[in-house]
Structure 1
Amino acid sequence: MKIGLITDSVSHLPFEAALDLAQQHGLNSVEVATGNWSEAPHADLDALVSSTEARAEFAEKITSRGLTLSALNANGNQLHPVSGKAHDAVVRRTIELAHALDVPTVVLMSGLPGAKGDSSPNWITTAWPPENLDVLAYQWDDVAIPYWKELAAFARDHGVKLAVEPCGGQLVHNVSTMLRLIDSVGDDAVGANLDPSHLMWMGADIPTVIRALGTSILHVHAKDIRINTWAAQRDGLLDTVPVTEPLGRAWNYVTLGLGHPDGATFWADFVYALRAAGYDGTLNIEHEDALVNSLEGVGRAADLLKQVALVEPPDWTPANV
């Protein structure tokens, strides 16, 4: 396994400084956002797609520091009834850029449609009232699956895999919806980007998630959460308090190791479960802790992952008996 950094974690830094930070902490790779929900502070997508020189300069900044580019990130809502086409354009240009840079993976969300005729997305979280299931059927059968079949074909043509991140507020938000998308469009182009934090706050058991997703895990984000019991026990875990107000929320994204009472033990179990499922790719640090300085948070996450990451391939074989 390798350890990487999502450079948006330190979006206030120039690209070169973000790369220097990754190098200083002994990391192996970076993941760079190209647009949509990210302001893409470290990548000019249009310039990189259109200019060989821009791509060469971009790549040289990374490789000259002994780093690789593990993925490009185009998180947004391509299925939004109003802005979806603009987000889709960023996704497709990002796939084109990944092909040109020989980057194997583009990370993205599934997107979330609205109900038929609506102008806003609609996240269905319960089977009642009965019309919820009609909305959900429309979202999957009429919008998402046709879109994703075509996008998967586009990715195949460019030799790029799409790592979809199950996340609350998206059509794909758990294991079952992730597997439904893969079954609908084919696992040769689409798999999972596992960010355990999104599934933790919904109550999922992460080792069980890893076993269920298995070899469909293409990419991993290393991000933690902390449950604020005083709020969760009162209101549950569905939470609309802004993430910029962490003291009022039922849960928060936190620096690795600060979310579980057992600290590093959780992350040791995490990487061991990934190895057992066949994943030996990158663990990309994503800092979104509103209470911890981003430079400190990245450093603490790097130190923790270096304690638990399994670097070398296994070589043990049982003795003949």
Structure 2
Amino acid sequence: MEIGLITDSLGGLSLEEALGVAQRAGLASVEIATGNWSEGPHCDLQALVGSSQARDDLLKTVADYGLRLSALCANGNQLHPVSGQQQDKVVRDTIEVAGRMGVPTVVLMSGLPGGGPDDKVPNWVTTAWPPENLAVLDYQWSQVAVPYWRDLADVARAAGVRLAVEACGGQLVHSVGTLTRLIDAVGSDVVGANLDPSHLMWMGADIPSVIRALAGSIFHVHAKDVRVNRWIADRDGLLDTTAHADTANRAWNYVTLGLGQPAGQAFWADFVYNLRSVGYDGTLNIEHEDSLVNSVEGVERSAALLRAVILAEKPDWVPANV
């Protein structure tokens, strides 16, 4: 395994400054966002689409810092009933660029359609009742998501790129069950998981169980933690529409690694060991979204924690003949 960084974690810095932080922290790779929900501060997607020189320059800049480009990220809502077409273009351009640059993985979310063909806003259904919720879900999956994703999977196959889908609240794919449904419908050869445990944590999932359930389908991993404010969660539960900036009044917050899960470093050691047990030996990309911790400090603290638990070398134990 290796430790990497989503450079958007340092979105206030230039690309070179962010790469310098990653280099000093002893990281091996970076993931760069190309647009949609990200402002894309560290690349110009259209320049990358149109210019082989721009693509070569980006790869060289990353390599000059002793790093490699593990993935491109196009997180957004390409199934949005109004702006989906615009966001889909970013996704498809990102896949094209990744293929041309030899980047193996594009990270993205599933998207979330409206609840019917005339809706103007996405509709996230989280319960089976009232009965019309099931009709909404059938429309979203059967008429929108599956046809879209089958076509996108063909685009990715042609480009030689894998699509790592991040299960996240507010998206059609937000759990192991919904991710598995998408993989089964589209094809496990090209669609798998970008495992960001933080989203599943706040929804109450047991992360070792998640890892075992996704064995063989984990294409990429984000390392991000969640801290639950029990005095609020015990009163209101974990579904929370309080603004993320209002950290003191939320049921949970994204935090720097080691400041969230009660077991601290031990949780992340178990996380790494469970990943190894299901055959994952790729990158763990630090994603800093802690509004109470300086971004450089947060990345450095996260890197130090992961260095203490990472399994960097291939196993070589051979059972003795008895």
Give the equivalent residue in structure 1 for 2:57.
Answer: 57
The answer for unaligned runs of 5 or more in structure 2 is none
Map residues 227-242 of structure 1 onto 2, 5 A cutoff.
227-242=228-243
Give the equivalent residue in structure 2 for 1:267.
Answer: 268
% identical aligned pairs:
68
Give the equivalent residue in structure 2 for 1:77.
Answer: 77
SS in 1 for 2:226: strand
SS in 2 for 1:267: helix
Q: How far apart, CA to CA, are the structure 2 residues paired with 1:218 and 1:55?
A: 23
Question: What is the CA distance between 1:17 and its match in structure 2?
Answer: 0.3
Q: How far apart, CA to CA, are the structure 2 residues paired with 1:217 and 1:97?
A: 22
Q: How many residue pairs are counted as aligned between the two chains?
A: 321
Map residues 33-182 of structure 1 onto 2, 5 A cutoff.
33-116=33-116, 117-182=118-183
Map residues 213-224 of structure 1 onto 2, 5 A cutoff.
213-224=214-225
Deviations 1:207-243 (A, max 9, x none): 0000000010000000000000111011110000011
Deviations 1:123-158 (A, max 9, x none): 000000000000000000000000000000000000
- Counterpart amino acid of residue 122 in structure 1: N
TM-score (norm 2): 0.99
Q: How far apart, CA to CA, are the structure 1 residues paired with 2:272 and 2:247?
A: 28
- Counterpart amino acid of residue 84 in structure 1: G
Give the equivalent residue in structure 1 for 2:32.
Answer: 32
Question: What is the CA distance between 1:174 and its match in structure 2?
Answer: 0.3
Give the equivalent residue in structure 2 for 1:8.
Answer: 8
Q: How far apart, CA to CA, are the structure 2 residues paired with 1:148 and 1:249?
A: 34
Give the equivalent residue in structure 2 for 1:17.
Answer: 17
Q: How far apart, CA to CA, are the structure 1 residues paired with 2:137 and 2:193?
A: 21
Q: How far apart, CA to CA, are the structure 2 residues paired with 1:52 and 1:318?
A: 50
- Counterpart amino acid of residue 292 in structure 1: V
Q: How far apart, CA to CA, are the structure 2 residues paired with 1:261 and 1:240?
A: 24
TM-score (norm 1): 0.99
Question: What is the CA distance between 1:262 and its match in structure 2?
Answer: 1.7
RMSD (Å), alpha carbons: 0.5
SS in 2 for 1:80: coil
Question: What is the CA distance between 1:261 and its match in structure 2?
Answer: 2.1
SS in 2 for 1:110: coil
Give the equivalent residue in structure 2 for 1:288.
Answer: 289
The answer for unaligned runs of 5 or more in structure 1 is none
Give the equivalent residue in structure 2 for 1:243.
Answer: 244
Question: What is the CA distance between 1:94 and its match in structure 2?
Answer: 0.1
